[in-house]
């Protein structure tokens, strides 16, 4: 696959559908193209590795918006995918699902 945008989309869709690429061994987490920002989430807390604000921080939002400028639907798909990862991490020890997840992960995606 040569188009990085479609590669990202394919991996996100496969992850969302719980489908693996080219294996018969069942679910294997598919590699995703990493967002081109240094402001990445530190899991499982989901705070920014660089500025320690709740991720996505303002810098991550700006970087991701620029990266997906020509493919904004891809950003929405990507953010929905990572929101599910965040829900898993943030509720792993029995905490209730944070009430602000939509605003934090998706509301800013235009």
For the bound state, the minimum distance from the C-beta of residue 30 to Zn ion, rounded and expressed in Å, comes to: 26
By the rule CB under 5 A, 40 interacts with Zn ion: no
Residues 43-72 that bind Zn ion (CB under 5 A): 48, 50-51, 57, 59
Q: How far is the CB of 36 from Zn ion (least distance, A)?
A: 14
**CB-CB contact of 78 with 35 (8 Å):** yes
Binder of Zn ion out of 39, 67, 68, 109 (CB under 5 A): 39
68 to 45, 71, 87, 106, 109: CA distances (angstroms): 25, 5, 23, 14, 10
The least distance separating Zn ion from the CB of residue 80, rounded to whole angstroms, comes to 20
- Taking the CA atoms of 46, 92, 102 and 71 in sequence, report the sign of the dihedral they define: positive
Specify the residue, 32 or 51, whose C-beta has the smaller distance to Zn ion.
51
Q: Is the distance from CB of 76 to CB of 64 less than 8 angstroms?
A: no
Interface residues toward Zn ion, by CB under 5 A: 39, 48, 50-51, 57, 59
């Amino acid at each position: 696959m040569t188009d990085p945008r479609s590669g990202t989309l394919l991996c996100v869709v496969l992850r969302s559908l719980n489908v693996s690429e080219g294996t018969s061994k069942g679910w294997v987490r598919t590699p995703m193209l990493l967002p081109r920002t240094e402001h990445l989430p530190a899991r499982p807390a989901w705070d920014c590795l660089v500025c320690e604000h709740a991720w996505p921080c303002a810098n991550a939002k700006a970087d991701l918006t620029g990266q997906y400028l020509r493919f904004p639907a891809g950003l929405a798909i990507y953010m929905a995918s990572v929101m599910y990862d965040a829900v898993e991490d943030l509720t792993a020890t029995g905490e209730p699902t944070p009430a602000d997840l939509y605003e934090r992960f998706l509301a800013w995606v235009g």
